[in-house]
Chain A
Amino acid sequence: DAGVIQSPRHEVTEMGQEVTLRCKPISGHNSLFWYRQTMMRGLELLIYFNNNVPIDDSGMPEDRFSAKMPNASFSTLKIQPSEPRDSAVYFCASSPWTGTVNEQYFGPGTRLTVT
């Protein structure tokens, strides 16, 4: 199994540009999570999908952030417009179980730099 796949691995963009991060969960997993990690705030859960349906998006920082899961094998996290404070490592994780407390399998992350 290839594990959770994220792309791109690194993204550098200018303030105001649209950024789209992509995630392919492990086949058969029905839960998907997007996290953001910074030195200041640590690892924060942004949004959680179960069976492609958003269950909890209370962690999404503001309207500039949106996430979709059009099918069981693909999800995107979009930031529009991007700002320097969005610079962080964004992780996608998936799980064969429901909920955040059960074991999650994390991808390698996308390091986003907004200049």
Chain B
Amino acid sequence: LAKTTQPISMDSYEGQEVNITCSHNNIATNDYITWYQQFPSQGPRFIIQGYKTKVTNEVASLFIPADRKSSTLSLPRVSLSDTAVYYCLVGDRDRDDKIIFGKGTRLHILP
């Protein structure tokens, strides 16, 4: 299973675009990249999943370069309510990999 590395914490300001990068140097050919968000005292919530290039939904965008050794979660125009822990996970959907959440990135949005 590919190991992921992401910053422990980040600060940003309301209205800014926030980019959180995750490194996964040993990603396998069939692995997908998934991001979850966890607010204090709540369970994690799925944000987005992708395999290559760019994926966008109503919450975020996920950018994956051609070598797929890293990925960037982009949150447009953040608000205070985006303060949360963000987890990057990598795994093969078809092989039934056991994903590892790790410690995530603690994002703190300032007014």
A-to-B contact residues, CB < 8 Å: 4, 35, 42-45, 48, 55-56, 58-59, 91, 93, 97-109
CB distance from A10 to the nearest CB of B (A): 11
Q: Which residue of A lies closest to B101 (CB)?
A: A43
Contact B102 A100 (CB under 8 A): no
Contact B32 A91 (CB under 8 A): no
B98 interface neighbour in A43, A100, A104, A106, Cβ under 8 Å: A100
CB distance from B52 to the nearest CB of A (A): 16
Distance A103 CA – B50 CA, assembled complex (angstroms): 12
Q: Which residue of B lies closest to A93 (CB)?
A: B43
Contact A106 B49 (CB under 8 A): no
CB distance from B96 to the nearest CB of A (A): 4
Contact A100 B46 (CB under 8 A): no
CB distance from A99 to the nearest CB of B (A): 4
Q: Which residue of B lies closest to A39 (CB)?
A: B103
CB distance from B95 to the nearest CB of A (A): 8
Label chain B's interface by main secondary structure.
Answer: loop
Q: Which residues of B contact A35 (CB under 8 A)?
A: 101
Taking the complex as formed, is B99 at the interface, i.e. its CB lies under 8 A from any CB of chain A? Answer: yes
Taking the complex as formed, is B17 at the interface, i.e. its CB lies under 8 A from any CB of chain A? Answer: no
Contact B92 A101 (CB under 8 A): yes
Distance A42 CA – B97 CA, assembled complex (angstroms): 19
B97 interface neighbour in A58, A91, A99, Cβ under 8 Å: A99
Contact A106 B45 (CB under 8 A): yes
CB distance from A105 to the nearest CB of B (A): 8
Contact A45 B98 (CB under 8 A): yes
B91 interface neighbour in A93, A101, A105, Cβ under 8 Å: A101
Q: A100-B96, A103-B34 are in contact. List 10 more A-B contacts (CB 8 A).
A: A43-B102, A45-B99, A91-B44, A99-B93, A101-B34, A103-B49, A104-B46, A106-B45, A108-B41, A109-B42
